[in-house]
Amino acid sequence: MYLKTYDDWEKAAERLYLQNPDTARYSIIYQHNKGLFKVKMTDDATCVQYRSESMQEFKKMEKFVSNLLRHMASTEH
Amino acid sequence: MVYLENDAFLNELVRMFSKSKVKGNGTVYVIMKKFDGTKRAAATTVTKKSSGTGKQKKTQKVSEEPTPAHACLIRAKLQNRKIATFVPAKEVNRFQLAYCSVLRGNMDALKKTKKNKSKSVRRPPKYLNFLHTLCGSLKVMFLY
């Protein structure tokens, strides 16, 4: 399911991860020739995706990724 | 799947990005998930089986060292080449900086147009506003 704005996606992805932190996975897909990136968060039941071409949104996404990385590697849930 | 150390993984990721640019039709997949030590054994046996069948001959670097109980598993894929790494909680700060800079540095086909557009949209109204106020003040001057 593609979401229309980045903020919607971020909220949905965060909720999905917090609901099911053990099975949720997050992926970035980058296509150089099309100049776009897609981000996806799924727990095998629901899947939220977002597609964008802008560098600004990528920078926003970077913050989300670093938070997520911290969460995933931390010892407590 | 080749399991690499964090730094080696990042180097390999950079190489993947540059390869995807050269061929022009490459798509790079980067996947992140939470990892708790329980599933580690299953993961290694799978890689051994696949190397046994001979489909993947690039399993030389399989790391046998024990991984911490909690870590973040990161995989990357370009065409048939697959790599993976574990980021333990200790390494997060260092890895995160390096990882973000790798992503930002290599996703250089993205557009930066939004800023320019917003600037060009904003400028005319300011200019017009200024003219309006000028006209207004001139009118007032003439009236008096």
Q: Are residues B69 and B121 in the same domain?
A: no
Domains of chain A by residue range: 6-71
Chain B nearest CA to A66, separation (Å)? 6
Query: Which one of B21, B70, B87 has the shortest CB-CB distance to A69?
Result: B87
pLDDT digits (tens, 9 = 90+) for B39-65: 554 444 444 444 444 444 444 444 444
Average pLDDT over residues A70-77: 72
Q: Are residues B7 and B31 in the same domain?
A: yes
Long-range contacts of A12-18 (CB under 8 A, 24+ apart): A12/A41, A12/A48, A13/A39, A13/A41, A13/A48, A13/A64, A14/A64, A16/A41, A16/A42, A16/A43, A16/A46, A16/A48, A17/A41, A17/A68, A17/A71
Rg of chain B over Cα atoms, rounded to whole angstroms, equals 27
Taking residue A39's Cβ as centre, other Cβ atoms within 10 Å add up to 25
Using the Cβ of B30 and the Cβ atoms of chain A, whether some distance falls under 8 Å is answered with yes
Average pLDDT over residues B112-117: 58
State how many domains chain B has: 2
Mean pLDDT of chain B: 72
What's the CA gap between A25 and A42, in Å, rounded? 6
Q: Are residues B100 and B118 in the same domain?
A: no
Q: Are residues B80 and B106 in the same domain?
A: yes
Q: Are residues B74 and B138 in the same domain?
A: no
Q: Are residues B69 and B118 in the same domain?
A: no
Q: Are residues B118 and B97 in the same domain?
A: no
Using the Cβ of B27 and the Cβ atoms of chain A, whether some distance falls under 8 Å is answered with yes
* Domain A6-71 coded CATH 3.30.720.10: yes
With the C-alpha atoms ordered B97, A10, A59, B30, is the resulting torsion angle positive or negative?
positive
Q: Are residues B99 and B142 in the same domain?
A: no
Using the Cβ of A47 and the Cβ atoms of chain B, whether some distance falls under 8 Å is answered with no
As a whole number of angstroms, the longest Cα–Cα distance in chain A is 40
Q: Are residues B56 and B127 in the same domain?
A: no
Q: Are residues B63 and B79 in the same domain?
A: yes
Are the CB atoms for B59 and B47 separated by under 8 Å?
Answer: yes
CATH number at residue B102: 3.30.720.10
Please give the pLDDT value at position B61: 42
Domain of residue B139, residue span: 113-144
What's the CA gap between B107 and A37, in Å, rounded? 8
pTM more than 0.80: no
pLDDT digits (tens, 9 = 90+) for B56-101: 444 444 444 455 567 888 888 888 888 888 888 888 888 888 888 8
